[in-house]
């Protein structure tokens, strides 16, 4: 029931966080969501939107700050949409993520399971190994950085606190060269350069620079020369052509301008080639912790057939593969399957097979062919698993499923489904892959109930 009036000012105490990391203040039971305020803080706020069952407010004044409040370490935080929870101390960020997962498991899915503490990062900054930087020309001046929240206006950024330092250096080095490059304009769908993409391996020995362009013209020779001279670690330069009117960054065609089409990184002692369009986790050290948890949960003995569904470039299966008899991977992006097959070779793995297609379709076919995995790793995108995929899982009944998720809301939906069908859910471990953002990763073991 609405108990507030738009544009009126109220005073209240934050009692909770939303799953997006906003503070919640209840006014006579009516929840108002407010950005950049912390649990237990007393604030003065203005109501900016009042829907029937909930509203939004703007913080005007913090009357009693929380001990967990910190000054956002990034000078662009209040303009940029890249991070959402920088005013929370890092320990409070980890608490917030644990709470988000726990609510989903227990309040939403009613699974009645424990949520462990979030596995945090030792130095939670400059971790992103992939930067997709939109480029614009405004009043004759090139802007590059990240979008403002819910907009395509760019915050012109010199240093991003979460992307790797080397990416900041490259971005600033390339910036003046763009004065003489044709820049894409979304409104007219004219101009060449849409995004600059930078991706690097964990020790910065291999870096890929990518130009995403509206057309095939190459106006990047001067930049390539400069990179050759000043950044020998840039071992791959690519141009990806995207001529569509779309928010999707990559187009279908990729041209190699220097070196290989890929860079190579290492995870848990295995090597991985990564092509521009293939998925690869953005936080190297935390990914190793996540995979270690997943592999531990699998409890492999060396005799198992493991399935790596939504496998990307084959990372989880190959990291677990030393302890398995056979690896079967499924992935929908073609370049990632190419990478996965090459990576198996690179790692001397001869007991892996990769299938190109949707997990929900390929899994069904494999089940029909009588393939029976003992352990299935499930690592879908944010939208979670298709019901047809979950049905195939239930049909084939692997002893263990290890579900890795980047979205607690679809995780709880899928776990609830599998639990109803007979899988017992173990405690969940959140792992912080995305410090300072409201994104939450989690890993959980499910076991087939034999009784
Ligand atoms: C969260 S990523 C995980 C990738 C990999 N397991 C890793 O750890 O790097 C999800 C992957 O699922 C792929 N994908 C998305 N929808 C899919 C589907 N329906 N079937 C198979 N793969 C899919 C994406 O291309 C992406 O590589």
389-424 confidence digits (pLDDT tens): 999 999 999 999 999 999 999 999 999 999 999 999
Mean pLDDT, residues 343-357 taken together = 97
To test the pocket of ligand 1, the residue of 266, 281, 332, 337 to mutate (highest count of ligand atoms within 8 Å of its CB) is: 332
Known binding residue 288? Answer is: no
The mean pLDDT of 331-339, rounded to a whole number, is: 95
Closest CA to 277 of 257, 248, 316, 247: 248
Q: Give the largest Cα separation in the chain, rounded.
A: 70
Mean pLDDT over the full length of the chain: 97
Structure tokens at 71: 């000054």
DSSP string, 288-347: HHHHHHHHHHHT--S--EEEEET-TTTHHHHHHGGG-SEEEEEES-HHHHHHHHHHHHHT
At residue 450, the pLDDT reads 72
Whole-angstrom Cα distance, residue 406 to residue 384? 9
Please choose from 307, 310, 343 the residue to mutate so as to test ligand 1's pocket, defined by most ligand atoms within 8 A of CB: 310
Mutate to test the pocket of ligand 1, among 278, 361, 381, 384 (most ligand atoms within 8 A of CB): 381
The answer to whether the annotation marks 331 as part of a ligand binding site is yes
Q: Are strands 130-138 and 207-213 parallel, antiparallel or unpaired?
A: unpaired
Residue of 293, 332, 284, 289 whose CA lies nearest to 309: 332
pLDDT higher than threshold 70 for residue 372: yes
Query: How many whole angstroms from 359 Cα to the centroid of ligand 1?
Result: 9
Name the E strands within 55-129.
55-64
Three-class SS string for 357-418? Answer: CCHHHHHHHHHHCCCCCCEEEECCCCCCCCHHHHHHHHHHCCCEEEEEECCHHHHHHHHHHH
In this prediction, residue 2 carries a pLDDT of: 84
What pLDDT is recorded for position 451? 61
Residue ranges in 5-126 assigned as alpha helix (H): 90-102
Of the candidates 74, 160, 385, 406, the residue annotated as catalytic is 406
Condensed to tens digits (0 to 9), the pLDDT of residues 230-264 reads: 999 999 999 999 999 999 999 999 999 999 999 99
Percent of the chain past pLDDT 90, that is, above it, reads: 97
Rounded to the nearest whole angstrom, what is the distance from the C-alpha of residue 133 to the centroid of ligand 1? 22
Domains of the chain: 9-64 (2.40.50.140), 98-119+283-448 (3.40.50.150), 130-266 (2.40.50.1070)
Asked if 385 is an active-site residue, the reply is no
Separation of 312 CA from ligand 1 center, angstroms? 5
pLDDT value, residue 245: 96
Atom 15, ligand 1: residue with shortest CA distance: 381
pLDDT in tens, 158-194: 999 999 999 999 999 999 999 999 999 999 999 999 9
Q: What is the pLDDT of residues 103-144, one digit of tens each?
A: 999 999 999 999 999 999 999 999 999 999 999 999 999 999
- In this prediction, residues 421-432 reach a mean pLDDT of 97
pLDDT band per the 50, 70, 90 thresholds, residue 43: very high
Express each pLDDT in 200-222 by its tens digit.
999 999 999 999 999 999 999 99
According to DSSP, the β-strands at 30-34 and 130-138 are unpaired
pLDDT for residue 1: 79
pLDDT for the residue 146: 93
List residues near ligand 1 (CB under 6 A). 279-281, 310-312, 315-316, 330-333, 336, 358-360, 379-381, 406
Residue 74 pLDDT level (bands cut at 50, 70, 90): very high
Give the Å distance between the CA of 332 and the centre of ligand 1.
7
Going 38 to 39 to 41 to 42, the CA torsion angle's sign is positive
């Amino acid at each position: 029931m609405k108990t507030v009036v738009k544009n009126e000012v109220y005073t209240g105490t934050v009692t909770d966080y939303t799953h997006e990391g906003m503070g919640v203040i209840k006014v006579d039971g009516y929840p108002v969501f407010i950005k950049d305020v912390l649990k237990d803080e007393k604030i003065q706020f203005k109501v900016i939107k009042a829907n029937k069952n909930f509203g939004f407010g703007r913080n005007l004044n913090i009357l009693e700050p929380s001990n967990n409040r910190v000054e956002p370490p990034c000078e662009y935080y209040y303009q940029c949409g890249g991070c959402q929870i920088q005013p929370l101390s890092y320990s409070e960020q980890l608490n917030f993520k644990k709470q988000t997962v726990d609510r989903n498991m227990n309040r939403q899915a009613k699974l009645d399971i424990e949520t462990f503490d979030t596995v945090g990062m030792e130095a939670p900054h400059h971790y992103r190994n992939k930067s997709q930087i939109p480029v614009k020309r405004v009043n004759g001046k090139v802007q590059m950085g990240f979008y403002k929240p819910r907009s395509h206006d760019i915050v012109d950024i010199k240093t991003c606190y979460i992307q790797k330092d080397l990416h900041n250096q490259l971005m600033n080095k390339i910036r003046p060269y763009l004065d003489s490059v044709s820049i894409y304009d979304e409104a007219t769908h004219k101009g060449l350069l849409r995004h600059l993409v930078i991706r690097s391996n964990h020790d910065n020995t291999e870096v890929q620079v990518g130009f995403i362009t509206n057309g095939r013209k190459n106006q990047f020779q001067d930049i390539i020369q400069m990179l050759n001279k000043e950044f020998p670690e840039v071992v791959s330069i690519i141009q990806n052509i995207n001529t569509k009117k779309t928010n999707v960054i990559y187009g279908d065609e990729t041209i190699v301008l220097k070196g290989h089409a890929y860079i190579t990184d290492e995870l848990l002692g295995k090597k991985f080639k990564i092509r521009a369009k293939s998925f690869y986790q953005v936080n190297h050290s935390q990914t190793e912790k996540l995979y270690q948890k997943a592999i531990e949960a699998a409890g492999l003995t060396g005799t198992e057939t493991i399935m790596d569904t939504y496998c990307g470039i084959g990372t989880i299966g190959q990291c677990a593969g030393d302890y398995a008899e056979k690896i079967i991977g499924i992935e929908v992006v073609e370049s990632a399957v190419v990478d996965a097959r090459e990576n198996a070779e690179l790692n001397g793995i001869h007991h892996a097979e990769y299938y190109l297609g949707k997990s929900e379709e390929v899994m069904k076919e494999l089940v029909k062919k009588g393939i029976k995995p003992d352990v299935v790793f499930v690592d879908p995108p944010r939208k979670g698993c298709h019901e047809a995929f979950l049905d195939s899982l239930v049909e084939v009944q692997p002893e263990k499923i290890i579900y890795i998720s980047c979205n607690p809301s679809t995780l709880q939906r899928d776990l609830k489904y599998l639990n109803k069908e007979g899988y017992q859910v173990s405690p969940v471990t959140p792992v912080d892959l995305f410090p300072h953002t409201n994104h939450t990763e989690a890993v959980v073991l499910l076991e087939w109930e034999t009784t």
